[in-house]
Chain A
């Protein structure tokens, strides 16, 4: 019962966020650049996190983040409110990431990319954050990492994460819990709490 009430409160917060995003997309469709700037500020971490979980290196993920918002600008007139504006933005990011990966494969870059999440120039990242993003996330399997990152930074519910990644909900839930557990173990091993 308590769980249910908690879920409802969170649902309401989510509804407000969603309305703001829907409104921003409407403005972007009408050609308002300030709305795009606002959307960027709200969604850049989520888009970056998702792109990074596919391409695994900071440079490509940064490029994909920019490409995604440019694509959002172009495609916004075709957006129709359907309940998950963040899901729509992330679907674009996902598709661009997958295309990027395929492009790499066509060029014969078949080597498994190393997890390299810290941009070359990023003076503002603290040592602790570096450990978390670089070392701790590296301990996760690719899908676990993607699911944990999506849940942590996008505000999407597990159900929505499942829909975005086209995975069964049960898989998302179990990978999420396993991923978080691994993260905690790794963090405790590194002596940061």
Chain B
């Protein structure tokens, strides 16, 4: 069966299972039409338009020619980011000199709106209204970034506070619990160059820089540039609000509250909470991690639970402690799937203490067993660590990790003998060299083929093809590189290999007892 045929069968089967009740849908549409939603929208729409018209009228009456030059000098530049991005140039008396869209969505918002000459805070109120009306701010993504660029920091901060208050009022009026990030920047050529390079506002660039600066080197500007303001807000809030007291974690989770978090000092002030409606929520993430660990909330002490962005997806990082063991989980924020987990035992190092050490071989013997198996001398390693690994509070085995050259080894050694239970080695070198061919989709010129991959794995394992059973070869693209995954069993062991599809070199392998 080809892939296409299989897909067609699947479509046919799902089509038979899917509901076919167009009447049910139409009856509900009829019922809704004209009752709540369209009415509400129409009223708000009119309101914003008449508001903008009123402001305009006000300005026409009030505007005079005497202070022409002063009035037309740009004092502050205000940018507003949601996804629509809008820039307002404002004079000394906080009147709008121009309102320009910075992207296509911004143009949609400003369409039919004449803000020139309005007070900046009134313009802000009208723009937020249009954002709400056109569906850019809703319960799924409610974050707005307001940036004031001004040489005069004091004047800028005053304007920032006024604009934030107006934006808040507009959101409250629409009964949306929004989250507003606001900041005042000194105009900086470095920042505007970066903003221009990525086609974003200086305000968004500053927010990304703040997150990168607070990430201890785990994030880069490039990796964050594609995120929405709501996602950036989640990350920023998670960084600047890492509570020491586990009780406070609940505060982040209760997204509906209107209490403001004010972060420590400038530059970025956060009010309200970024929406998590698109995600499973912190509590669900904690549950998922606990379930995976086989523990219940009562057993553990939570250390940290927050948003993060890793490998191109939003995740919750959940950390907790049970006895001497610290658990670290990354839970996919959309699906609740466990993306990564790590368990670390920091009990008494050195093997002594309260452990029932009588029959155990000890960490140095475990180390020796692993090194001997790998054929590596301890003096040739960059580091070599061994510790007792616990499972559900009971010692399970010794873990030994060491690095020799560019290869990292991980071993599990039995508690009471030098038996190797499991080992894995990973060559960390040479990966960059072969990852250069990303994107060359169908290029098969350098493909070793599944036969070649199988042979490479069997040769490495010292197993002949006739000895191997349950042999599976899978062709895979990983990070733009062609790879083969080879799995087989032989002599009571299970083997897993990852082979470079072009060079045939062994990228990763793992042997485990087949039980």
Contact = CB atoms under 8 A, between A and B. Distances in A.
B17 A143 contact: no
A142 B287 CA distance: 18
Given A95-B140, A105-B283, A31 B33 contact: yes
Contacts of B279: 98
B17 A173 contact: no
Nearest to A38: B22
A167 interface: yes
B16 A124 contact: yes
Contacts of A142: 335, 337
Contacts of A48: 14, 17-19
Interface string B8-48: 11111111111111101110111011000110010000000
Interface string A104-126: 01000010000001110010111
Interface string B272-299: 0000011111011001000100000000
Interface string B471-497: 000111111100000000000000000
A129 B16 contact: yes
B17 A74 contact: no
A44 interface: yes
B287 A110 contact: yes
Contacts, number: 161
A155 to B, nearest CB: 10
Nearest to A173: B477
Contacts of B337: 142-143
B281 A36 contact: no
B441 A65 contact: no
A99 B280 contact: no
A114 to B, nearest CB: 16
Contact of A102 (B21, B38, B284, B475): B284
A153 interface: yes
Given A102-B284, A143-B335, A166-B314, A118 B17 contact: yes
Contacts of B1: 184, 187, 193
A18 interface: no
A129 B25 contact: no
B312 interface: yes
A40 B23 CA distance: 10
Contacts of A171: 312
A74 B6 contact: no
A102 B280 contact: yes
B469 to A, nearest CB: 16
B11 A45 contact: yes
A122 B479 CA distance: 42
B11 A98 contact: no
A33 interface: yes
Interface residues of A, number: 68
A16 interface: no
B157 to A, nearest CB: 35
A132 B9 contact: yes
Contacts of A101: 280, 336
A41 to B, nearest CB: 7
A121 B117 CA distance: 64
B10 A44 contact: no
Given A36-B25, A73-B29, A105-B284, A166 B334 contact: yes
A119 B33 CA distance: 30
Contacts of B108: 80
A30 interface: no
A132 B13 contact: yes
Contacts of B442: 3
Given A95-B278, A180-B3, A166 B16 contact: no
Contacts of B21: 66
B13 A44 contact: no
A84 interface: no
A40 B25 contact: yes
A89 interface: no
A44 B280 CA distance: 25
B17 A122 contact: yes
A170 B16 contact: no
Nearest to A65: B19
B437 to A, nearest CB: 13
Given A41-B22, A99-B277, A78 B16 contact: no
A13 B10 CA distance: 20
B166 to A, nearest CB: 24
Contacts of B312: 167-168, 171
Contact of B477 (A75, A95, A122, A170): A170
A181 B450 CA distance: 15
Contacts of B7: 148, 151-152
A119 B19 contact: yes
Interface string B321-347: 000000000000011110000000000
Nearest to B105: A80
A170 B480 contact: yes
Interface in A53-106: 58, 62, 65-66, 69-70, 73-75, 77-78, 80, 95, 98-99, 101-102, 105
Contact of A184 (B6, B15, B38, B336): B6
Contacts of B158: none
A70 B31 CA distance: 10
B441 A45 contact: no
A177 interface: yes
Contacts of A105: 280-281, 283-284, 287
Nearest to A64: B19
A149 interface: yes
A125 B32 contact: no
A168 B475 CA distance: 19
Contacts of A9: none
Contacts of B11: 45, 152-153
Which 10 residue pairs across A and B have the least CB separation, nearest first?
A129-B13, A48-B18, A152-B7, A73-B29, A168-B312, A152-B10, A45-B15, A69-B25, A78-B135, A125-B16
Given A33-B26, A174-B478, 11 more contacts: A36-B25, A70-B25, A70-B29, A73-B29, A74-B29, A78-B134, A122-B16, A129-B9, A152-B11, A152-B14, A178-B474
26 contacts: A36-B25, A40-B25, A41-B22, A44-B18, A44-B19, A48-B17, A58-B17, A66-B21, A66-B28, A69-B25, A69-B29, A74-B37, A101-B336, A102-B284, A110-B291, A124-B16, A133-B10, A148-B10, A153-B11, A166-B313, A170-B478, A174-B476, A177-B477, A180-B3, A183-B6, A187-B1
